Chain A
């Protein structure tokens, strides 16, 4: 197991390198750059600026610089937000995204597992059909549609919750999100995962409940509840565990959209702005960070998988 973890960590390095290189190449290949605006700077000024940022250096010099930055995980100053470094922006925006993303996944896990298990145990009942229909709806409804609908209902009609933005509250020296601002974004983001997890759980449970060892458990005289919770659940949720790795990658993409819809000061929102502004350092910094997080989480998921299934040994 230890050597597996070391091996996987070693793979993460080249993976991040590849991701960053692709991102860098895409930024270069896209027409225009940060200073190619319609403002029409005097040519002399523009020339100076380009020289300062090394924009006219040969590609390998620019790439070499990027590699040095990656090695120390410091991408310098943002071009748009001139007075802030990329790392400062990450530090400020990341907590927002983490709160939204993790609450969303937690909601999705709890409700998805619950509904999926119930649907499997009451297969073909009205409950089963209605939760699976709801799941179908959740999967097919994009979050940029669901978000505005929720805002319309709960913010603009019922006035229960704010329609967007973010607020931190200090509790004993720790900053926590004001939950009123967290609820709608988290629910919007969770819907699709909840639906997916419910379907995966239902399918997984139905398959496990047909297994011979479940029959053995019943033949032992265990109650239905003991059969489900002690014997079936573990195998039944394995598909959900495997799904958590890729889900995280999608979750990052989802936060980008949801932060836009709710105007949250999170990483995703800055990511979009950076892309629109051609703010290469910020864009590359965020990309590197997300790549590392996704890869590390996938490793954690594999470790969790081995923990749940004793037959898996790396």
Chain B
């Protein structure tokens, strides 16, 4: 969290709409954030909250039609991406901003050898010769920990397991040493043990290359140990935005608190996992007022009537809620009582892999620092 470091990406008031038969879907509606060089940003939210669309919009990969970037700007390295020609944008994709996707089983071309898929990107952006690109492909596979890389580089994707394919995707994404890596739920489709390995790999490569990372997930546990900042999204909007530690210490939004409660706690024997009741709203017919109102435990009459304000509850910590200050204060109080009685933590936040955070036994310990 080096405050003086330079801004790499700044997204301002982004809005992306889809024209559907039910009406206009505001999949992303007024999203703003900044990412500094070398930092990692986590974007969290339930499925359908607009995480993927936000990031596809940054890369201008929204299918048009039905999609349309309806407003806002994306400044990458001082350059307005929405002012670029298609040709200029293509030189940024894959080379300076790379993206890996949720499902490694379907994200690689099943008809093309891994070697060819890896070579394609360095030949395109770095002008490598065939043999250079081939050697580079082998070394990238070694870098992401594929055993016997040279022997396996000519395989087809179906000959690799899911975890191995995601490693290939990461190798491909990092081939041109991009300044920004967007990882869209890179572990959601994988087994738990593989998940941890892939996250470890991303963390490790990030340390080696200094790449900035946007890590998208629906699981707050995943981002806890990896990110500097977190954005919590719901219904296409940012509901809470804070530095990672601040968000875990004192969430200021009822939605965030619900997500935190639904993180599985390995130390607790409770079988039943908490789930926020109800379903995300129909984006084509959003009720007026707070989009979360129908599901919110904290909701009051005003929530269904008026759209909530985006409140700065503390420096660098924002929450979209009529009662942001109150929720924040409650969270702080709860934390203090937990510190007093560490055994009563209930749902502690346990990052799946946690090396940068001081401890992964419980949130309480972390708070004692």
Asked if A40 CB lies within 8 Å of chain B CBs, one says no
Asked if B120 CB lies within 8 Å of chain A CBs, one says yes
Asked if A213 CB lies within 8 Å of chain B CBs, one says yes
Measured between alpha carbons, how far is A310 from B91 in the docked complex, in Å?
Answer: 31
By a CB distance below 8 angstroms, the chain B residues around A234 are: 111-112
**B124 in complex: contacting residue of A212, A216, A221, CB < 8 Å:** A221
71-97 of chain B: CB within 8 A of chain A: 90-95
Pairwise interchain contact A310-B107, C-beta atoms closer than 8 A? no
By a CB distance below 8 angstroms, the chain A residues around B103 are: 212
**B94 in complex: contacting residue of A211, A212, A220, CB < 8 Å:** A220
Asked if B156 CB lies within 8 Å of chain A CBs, one says yes
93-120 of chain B: CB within 8 A of chain A: 93-95, 98-99, 101, 103, 106-112, 120
Asked if B59 CB lies within 8 Å of chain A CBs, one says yes
**How many contacts A-B (CB < 8 Å)?**
67
Minimum C-beta distance from A287 to chain B (A): 38
Question: Interface 1/0s, chain A 238-281, versus B by CB < 8 A?
Answer: 00000000000000000000000000000000000000000000
Asked if A309 CB lies within 8 Å of chain B CBs, one says yes
Minimum C-beta distance from A222 to chain B (A): 7
Pairwise interchain contact A311-B110, C-beta atoms closer than 8 A? yes
Pairwise interchain contact A215-B90, C-beta atoms closer than 8 A? no
Pairwise interchain contact A311-B156, C-beta atoms closer than 8 A? yes
Q: Given that A234-B111, A235-B111 are contacting pairs, would A213 and B106 also be in contact in the complex, using a CB cutoff of 8 Å?
A: yes
Pairwise interchain contact A222-B124, C-beta atoms closer than 8 A? yes
By a CB distance below 8 angstroms, the chain B residues around A203 are: none
209-238 of chain A: CB within 8 A of chain B: 211-213, 215-223, 230-231, 234-235
Measured between alpha carbons, how far is A220 from B94 in the docked complex, in Å?
Answer: 4
Minimum C-beta distance from A79 to chain B (A): 53
Minimum C-beta distance from A313 to chain B (A): 10
Measured between alpha carbons, how far is A232 from B72 in the docked complex, in Å?
Answer: 32
Pairwise interchain contact A213-B156, C-beta atoms closer than 8 A? no
A219: nearest chain-B partner, CB-CB = B99
Chain A interface size, under 10 / 10 to 19 / 20 to 34 / 35 or more: 20 to 34
Pairwise interchain contact B158-A213, C-beta atoms closer than 8 A? no
Pairwise interchain contact A215-B121, C-beta atoms closer than 8 A? no
Minimum C-beta distance from B133 to chain A (A): 13
By a CB distance below 8 angstroms, the chain B residues around A219 are: 59, 61, 93-94, 98-99, 101
Asked if A308 CB lies within 8 Å of chain B CBs, one says yes
By a CB distance below 8 angstroms, the chain B residues around A215 are: 61, 101, 107
**B172 in complex: contacting residue of A220, A223, A230, CB < 8 Å:** A220
A313: nearest chain-B partner, CB-CB = B158
Q: Given that A219-B61, A220-B121, A310-B156 are contacting pairs, would A213 and B107 also be in contact in the complex, using a CB cutoff of 8 Å?
A: yes
Pairwise interchain contact A213-B172, C-beta atoms closer than 8 A? no
By a CB distance below 8 angstroms, the chain A residues around B121 are: 220-221
Pairwise interchain contact B111-A308, C-beta atoms closer than 8 A? yes
Of listed A211, A219, A223, A310, residue having the most chain B CB within 10 A? A219
Asked if B125 CB lies within 8 Å of chain A CBs, one says yes
Measured between alpha carbons, how far is A311 from B121 in the docked complex, in Å?
Answer: 23
B104: nearest chain-A partner, CB-CB = A212
By a CB distance below 8 angstroms, the chain A residues around B111 are: 234-235, 308-310
Measured between alpha carbons, how far is A217 from B117 in the docked complex, in Å?
Answer: 9
B182: nearest chain-A partner, CB-CB = A219
By a CB distance below 8 angstroms, the chain B residues around A218 are: 61, 93
By a CB distance below 8 angstroms, the chain A residues around B90 are: 221-223
Of listed B94, B95, B125, residue having the most chain A CB within 10 A? B94
Q: Given that A221-B95, A221-B124 are contacting pairs, would A216 and B61 also be in contact in the complex, using a CB cutoff of 8 Å?
A: no
Pairwise interchain contact B120-A220, C-beta atoms closer than 8 A? yes
By a CB distance below 8 angstroms, the chain A residues around B109 are: 213, 216-217, 231
Minimum C-beta distance from A241 to chain B (A): 12
Minimum C-beta distance from B175 to chain A (A): 9
Measured between alpha carbons, how far is A230 from B237 in the docked complex, in Å?
Answer: 37
A214: nearest chain-B partner, CB-CB = B109
By a CB distance below 8 angstroms, the chain B residues around A212 are: 101, 103, 106-107
Minimum C-beta distance from B161 to chain A (A): 15
Minimum C-beta distance from A159 to chain B (A): 49
11 residue pairs A–B, Cβ–Cβ below 8 Å: A212-B103, A216-B169, A220-B94, A220-B120, A222-B124, A230-B120, A234-B111, A235-B110, A310-B110, A310-B156, A311-B158
Residues of A within 8 A of B (CB): 211-213, 215-223, 230-231, 234-235, 308-311
6 interchain residue pairs of minimum CB distance: A221-B94, A221-B93, A220-B94, A212-B106, A310-B156, A213-B109
